[in-house]
Structure 1
Amino acid sequence: MTAQAHTTSYYAASANEKQLRPALTDNIDADVCVIGAGFTGLSSALHLAKAGLKVVVLEANRIAFGASGRNGGQIVHSYSRDIDFIHKHYGKDTGTAMASMAFEGGEIIRGLVEEFNIQCDLKDGGIFAACNDKQMRELEGKKALWQANGHRQLELLSETEIQNHIGTGRYKGGLLDKSGGHFHPMNLALGEAAAIESLGGQIFEDSAVTGIDQQAITRVNTARGSVTAKYVVVAGNAYLNGLLPKLEQKAMPCGTQVIATEPLSKDLQQQLLPGDKCVEDCNYLLDYFRLSGDGRLIYGGGVTYGAREPGKIESLIVPKMLKTFPMLTQTKVDFAWTGNFLLTLMRLPQFGRIGNNIFYAQGYSGHGITSTHLAGRVIAEALQGQAERFDVFAGLPQYPFPGGRTFRIPYTAMGAWYYTLRDKLGI
């Protein structure tokens, strides 16, 4: 299989470096072989390399080819299901343990950016915006929940106050998370890749894994080479492409759509987002937006179930953008793209082992930026004999979607329609 080029995204067009890593063409040894050069794989490899292990990363396409290089670029804490849901469904011990890690991913990102001087337009501050009174009450509950679990950098915004941050009358209020933020995701990934290589790790692109021979020492095969390693980390997420069918049956690829406008004037940037903070609304199928480092509005939203490629992304997203910012009717869209993330039935990530020496993490369900970076640290701990935190995630039940591959898309789409109706009705 020949590697694919990056999608036609703003991120790919504005990447700090466009050099291609070589394909694997030899049989080599490593302590750990990581499959996938998205944030889960890069974070795992970087934490392992920092610990002195010999790491090889195999990427079927390009670094950050999937969701890691196509997402909204926002630091959003916790998980797709919040701490109260986890306590209710999985018990006090699991809830407390996951709560203790819920705000760690953002700290990891900021730490890596500082340690390795990664240039990724990192900016502070994120806002959850309420579209109705019900959502505002839910944000009040979120603030109380997060504060009870040690997160203090939160401020409720009234309907008037939120207009000091977002130039629209669309929202009933919001919650400002001062430790949230936003960045250029592909440049973060490329910076992490360079950090791995600076520590002696190797990254091979155009090196799709064709099979895994699992023994005490496992061999990971590609079309033109192999890696023999003590441990393997599977970090392909929505892009495993048949490598491990039993793992893929546990989750469903979904697509989200994003656009980037032409660069906006300073006055217009100030009118839209005066404090340069990122925003996501509280709808089930949410909108999210922010300004890029060069002053474009990046706006995304919606879900395409089953990872179908939408024919006209602009026709899906521009009406959403204009509902929020009607003043952009004459603004040109320079980039439009889509990307796949992996949805699990319970909307919680899936960690686990295959045998004794293959570890995996996947299915962040749209909450991947911080969770993937946490996953990398937790996987690195487990491979070094400290598996307590990994086992908290691995202990969560991993249910397949009902109806198997045939019916999981329509079932999930029906659920999304139901929640979208609830959003519109404010119930």
Structure 2
Amino acid sequence: MPSNATSHVASYYAATAQESPERPPLTGEKRCDVCVVGAGFTGISAALHLAEQGHRVVLLESARVGFGASGRNGGQIVNSYSRDMDVIESRYGVDTARALGDMAFEGNRIIRERIARYAIDCDLKEGNLFAACNARQMKGLIEHKALWERYGNDRLELLEGNAYRREIGSDRYVGALLDHSGGHLHPLNLVLGQAAAFESLGGVIHEQSPVTAIEQGTPVRLATPHGAVVAERVVMAGNAYMKGLLPSLEGKSMPASTQVVTTAPLSEAQAREILPNDRAVEDCNYLLDYYRLSGDRRLIYGGGVSYGGQDPSSIEGVIRPKLETTFPQLKGVRIDYAWSGTFLLTLNRLPQFGCLNGNVYYAQGYSGHGVTSTHLAGKLIAEVMQGQGERFDAFAGLPHLPFPGGRVLSVPLTAIGAWYYRTRDALGV
């Protein structure tokens, strides 16, 4: 998991993170039951579940805990997957849809259980909204509500017409769907809190320890610049930061980045005007905008996608027009933080789970929908290592095709597709 980075990016989350120790790089050789590679949500979730089961776990991280998307995302607890159950059912059949549907709302429950059990302070707040920008999208939300209710989510509330204004102080929308089982939080503090919980159970984390080579076998040997870990089983959880370690998977995924800004603290009146009940919001566009209030009343606003993971020359220049379109009353508001986060896309927009050589497990490619799915993945990895693989296998059985043109041509081809859908959103068709 090579990386030149040694510390968190200069984000709002890094600036307001709970105190966390710097873990020393790995030196010498260590042996363990399970070695986890990558200290983001997937890796930390898996490591914590495995430690709770009594496994001896060593976790290797190339930079800092939560360095990647887990510590930079929008902080929204959004249920299900980047492809919803109707698409899964039509493409992969009723049985697969039912298996995944039974888990579609589990990730948010796992997050809340972790927070409660380990007393993690991460500004947890309740409720997220899907906001419709036109009549076509509103029709989609009505169908979306019926679909999710069919799969067991009974905590949905449709806000038709101007009813959405009780939640969002913007003229931009024609209605919304409120998921009371969703929410939002400080993602970096969530992952740091779970890392501390893992260590409290005897788990070991080595930061600044990129994996440089993997010798597969039984056991597996993972080399780092100054040491090695020998483990009976391995969890590869580096997601968009694993270039070169699992080459057989690289053509089936593509890194992408999204941009986020955080404003100066708003007055209580401003905060109450734009988000009266402090919910998280995302719109229904293909390249969606998403936003919420932080614990100290800042507006965290993100949007857009850069395929291939390249950052724009000015993040504020990309996001400020979106923010001010949604909330003209905040025109000219000071931006205190601006950053990008890289995530991993798959062609079918569903996560990739699997096992190589019988003892190297992986979970990645959440396609921008990872806060809840990563926590589910960690639990399923722990289950399969306890001999209960049915739920893990439901994901592992999904077919994943390579992007057309490989990673070289996939970026422009995907961008062309995004332009098409962005044009449809703008026209409301």
Structure 1: distance between partners of 2:10 and 2:327: 24
CA contact (8 A) 2:251 2:407 kept: yes
Please, which of 298, 301, 305 is the counterpart of residue 303 of structure 1?
Answer: 305
Which residue of the partner structure matches residue 344 of structure 2? 342
SS of the aligned residue for 1:160 comes to: helix
- From 92, 98, 106, the counterpart of 1:104: 106
Q: CA deviation at 1:216?
A: 1.2
| Map of 1:136 onto structure 2 | 138
Q: Which amino acid aligns with 1:325?
A: F
Contact 2:133 2:172 in 1 (8 A): yes
Out of 408, 412, 428, the position equivalent to 1:426 is: 428
SS at match of 2:161: coil
Give SS of 1:366's match. Answer: coil
CA distance in 2 between partners of 1:301 and 1:369 (Å): 16
Q: Is the 8 A contact 2:20 2:192 kept in 1?
A: no
Per-residue CA distance 1:360-416 (angstroms, 9 max, x = gap): 011000100000000000011011111111111000001110011221001100000
The one-character-per-residue Cα deviations of 1:84-109 (angstroms, maximum 9, x if unpaired) are: 11011001110100000000000000
Quote the offset at 1:2 in angstroms: 5.2
Distance 1:136 1:328 in 2: 26
Q: Distance in 1 between matches of 2:147 and 2:423?
A: 26
Indicate which of 219, 230, 236 corresponds to 1:217.
Answer: 219
Which residue of 1 is the match for residue 83 of structure 2?
A: 81
The separation in 1 between residues aligned to 2:247 and 2:218, in whole angstroms, is 22
- Using the TM superposition, give the Cα deviation of residue 18 of structure 1 relative to its aligned residue in structure 2, in angstroms: 4.1
Q: Give deviations 1:47-90, integer Å, cap 9, x for gaps.
A: 10111111111000011111000000000000000011101100
Structure 1 residue 17: deviation in Å? 1.2
Aligned to 2:30: 28
Equivalent in 157, 160, 165 of residue 159 of structure 2: 157
Poorly superposed stretches of 4+, deviation over 4 Å: none
- Matching residue of 1:325: 327
Distance 1:159 1:319 in 2: 25
Q: Counterpart of 1:124?
A: 126
- Report the counterpart of residue 277 of structure 2 in structure 1: 275
Return the TM-score normalized by structure 2: 0.98
| Match among 151, 170, 173 for residue 171 of structure 1 | 173
Paired amino acid for 2:258 = T
Moved more, 157-166 or 95-104: 157-166
Q: Which secondary structure state, in structure 1, belongs to the residue aligned with residue 212 of structure 2?
A: strand
Give the whole-Å Cα distance in 2 for the aligned partners of 1:329 and 1:2: 37
Shift of residue 3, structure 1, vs aligned partner: 4.3
The answer to whether the 8 Å contact 2:41/2:374 transfers is yes
Paired residues, what number?
Answer: 427
SS state at 1:396 partner: coil
SS in 2 for 1:4: coil
Determine helix, strand or coil for the equivalent of 1:186: helix
In the alignment, what sits opposite 2:260? 258
Aligned counterpart, 2:68: 66
Which residue in 1 is equivalent to 2:247? 245
Counterpart residue number, 2:289: 287
Cα distance in 2 between the residues matched to 1:112 and 1:26: 33
CA shift for structure 1 position 245: 1.7
**Retained in 2: the 8 A contact 1:28–1:227?**
yes
Q: What CA distance in whole angstroms lies between the structure 1 residues aligned with 2:424 and 2:355? A: 38
Partner of 2:51 in structure 1? 49
Match in the other structure for 1:10: 12
Unaligned runs of 5+ residues in structure 1 are none
Alignment partners' CA distance in 2, 1:39 and 1:313: 25
Distance 1:199 1:18 in 2: 17
1:196 counterpart (198, 222, 226): 198
CA distance in 1, matches of 2:396, 2:215: 23
In structure 2, what is the equivalent of residue 185 of structure 1?
A: 187
SS across alignment from 2:287: coil
1:114 corresponds in structure 2 to 116
Letter in 2 for 1:44: A
| Contact 2:124-2:186 within 8 A present in 1 as well | yes
What residue in structure 2 maps to residue 92 of structure 1?
Answer: 94
Letter in 1 for 2:327: F
- Residues 233-276 of structure 1: CA distance to partner in whole angstroms, max 9, x if unpaired? 00010001322222222100000000000011111100110000
Whether 1:354 and 2:359 are equivalent positions in the alignment is: no
Tell me by how many angstroms 1:26 deviates: 2.0
1:112-161 per-position Cα deviation (integer Å, ceiling 9, x unaligned) = 00000000000001000000000000000010001111110000002211
Write the distance in 2 (CA, Å) between the matches of 1:297 and 1:338.
16
Q: CA offsets per residue over residues 180-219 of structure 1, 9 Å max, x none?
A: 1000000000000000001110011000001111111111
1:290-337 per-residue CA deviation (whole Å, 9 max, x = no partner) reads 000011000000000100021100000000000000011131000000
Distance 1:199 1:123 in 2: 27
CA contact (8 A) 2:261 2:301 kept: yes
For 2:25, give the aligned amino acid. Answer: A
Contact in 2 for aligned 1:24/1:204 (Cα 8 Å)? yes
Output the CA distance in 2 between the equivalents of 1:42 and 1:249.
26
- For residues 421 and 392 of structure 1, the distance between their equivalents in structure 2, rounded to whole angstroms, comes to 35
- In structure 2, the gaps of 5 or more residues are none
Q: CA contact under 8 A between 1:2 and 1:206: conserved in structure 2?
A: no
Q: Distance in 1 between matches of 2:294 and 2:198?
A: 26
Supply the AA of the counterpart residue of 2:121: Q
Taking structure 1 as the reference length, what is the TM-score of the superposition?
A: 0.99
Q: Secondary structure at the match of 2:277?
A: coil
Contact 2:35 2:57 in 1 (8 A): yes
Identity %: 59
Letter in 2 for 1:392: A
Amino acid in the other structure paired with 1:268: Q
Secondary structure, counterpart of 2:199 in structure 1: helix
